[in-house]
Chain A
Amino acid sequence: MMHAEQTLMEAATPLLQVQGIRKLYAPGKGVDGVDFDLYPGEVLGIVGESGSGKTTLLGCLSGSVIPDQGRVLYRNRDDRELDLYNISESDRRALLRTEWGVVHQHARDGLRMGVSAGANIGERLMAVGGRHYGQLREAGENWLREVEIDPSRINDTPGTFSGGMQQRLQIARNLVTGPRLIFMDEPTGGLDVSVQARLLDLLRNLVMDLGLAVVLVTHDLAVARLLSHRLMVMKHGKVVEHGLTDQVLDDPRHPYTQLLVSSVLGN
């Protein structure tokens, strides 16, 4: 799919503008002043060790953690600028069901374990008014194929899936409404290495094919290098270094980044 032209045309305005986000649980714990812009089709990696604030930051960006200060501005499909914490709860939830997606670290947090894979994928479509069973089923089968799950498993519940399959199902569930921005929290956490490889491959291709913008939180530098265009390194709630991913990892300048990079085996 050719999306390069579109990306260049939209490139003039950022998709997401994050300004002065602050959410502190204690000094140095949480998010202490983060700003950045994200453009369509960009994958931003946020790396840091536990306690760096990266998960809190992701929460603030995706609407699940209300920041003490700062704004998150999103430009929607109709080219309207939405101030995430100034719109109604209803609009925020609608955003999360349509133009945004959230991929949780544990698939169980992002799936309905009690209903079939097809229902999991179809739910968002039903939530926005999908009322044709045949079409919903077709969408389910197509998306299962996209995430490399055998479509014949469409009636099985996620409990019967392996960890990697659950994660891929979670991704399908999010992508079915064609979101433009995805938030991912350690998408490969807890998976076996070979399973991780498969998932990363899928993510890489989907991001490229669909022109998705992604904010990806991970502690794994290899994942960050593979998937993200830009990287932000966090420590104690602050961004200590940011830039092009390969630049930050190959030419780290901040002492903490250098420590992080040198600590990784085989980097």
Chain B
Amino acid sequence: MKAKIIRKKDISGFLDRLIQAYRVYAPVMQNGYFLFKTIKSGSEASLNYHNTKMSPKDILFPQSEVLFRYQLDKRGVEIDAPAQDERDLVIFGIRPCDVRGIQALDKVFSKNPKDPYFEERRNRTVIVGLGCKENHNGCFCTAVGGGPCADDGSDLFLIDIGDEYLIRVISDKGEVFLKGEDLPDAETQKIAFAAVVAEKAQDALRPCVEVQGSEDILTQRFNDPVWDVISEKCIGCGVCTYLCPTCHCFDICDEAVNKEGKGIRIWDSCQYPLFTRQASGPNPRDTVGKRMRQRIMHKFVYFPDEQGMLGCTGCGRCVIECPVNLDIREVLNILLRTGAAR
């Protein structure tokens, strides 16, 4: 694998050059927390962060997206596709858990039937991952098959080696991307040091739950009353699903005024009662217990079944931001460890 070196103090200038050609998303501190934002200058970005409050999934899968606009006139209906951004995208400094989130979205939106809106943006996106040196309170990537410095899915991957970042060139796309930049090749010594940093970070985050075999256990416990016990404190908001890097459920609605309108795709959440309420009134998931079960089952049973990977990347946003600290790690431990005896 090729590797390059960039000095930390040169990152801002590097981003400034990127902005000339790309729409660059990077972590930006606003209102006391970080979010991925389109930056206009390299100095806005900061790589000195744990993770962003929201996952960057909205870059590829926006919370509200106009799919088409229409207008009625005497001749009939005229439909317009939305305008597309002419620039290619760069997601700079994204954490490995969130890269994995994008891999999950890829499975959903880039397989048949392909989602043209997602696909179009995704093909034009360069992912520059950033390894984690230190984990945060909610982190559990190592329990779900990821790692603080897992570089798969990134096109380029940065590892903090002191005053410099080592840039691992992971994909052809990453290699092409770096072409115009005159960055020195990493010496063997630095490549080895980066590997040590990665290993240390991996060792520091011991898996907090054993998810191997979870599909069978969870399936067996589908009708277990324990779901209602665990979820009793859940207030039924959408924080866990909206902040999640893999949750991808959406609704499509029409908004029209007089003879003009638009079809919009918006995020939806399985935690809302309305998500499954039928037009005639009944709701098959009429309790928070059933809705929480759906979230867990989707991530640890249905998604692996259909897509061959877990639907959870261990980013820990749902752990940290849940208003009532309903911790998914603990939920899994209760379900998987206490067995069906309960």
- Genuine A/B complex: no
A binding-site residues for B, Cβ under 8 Å = none
B binding-site residues for A, Cβ under 8 Å = none
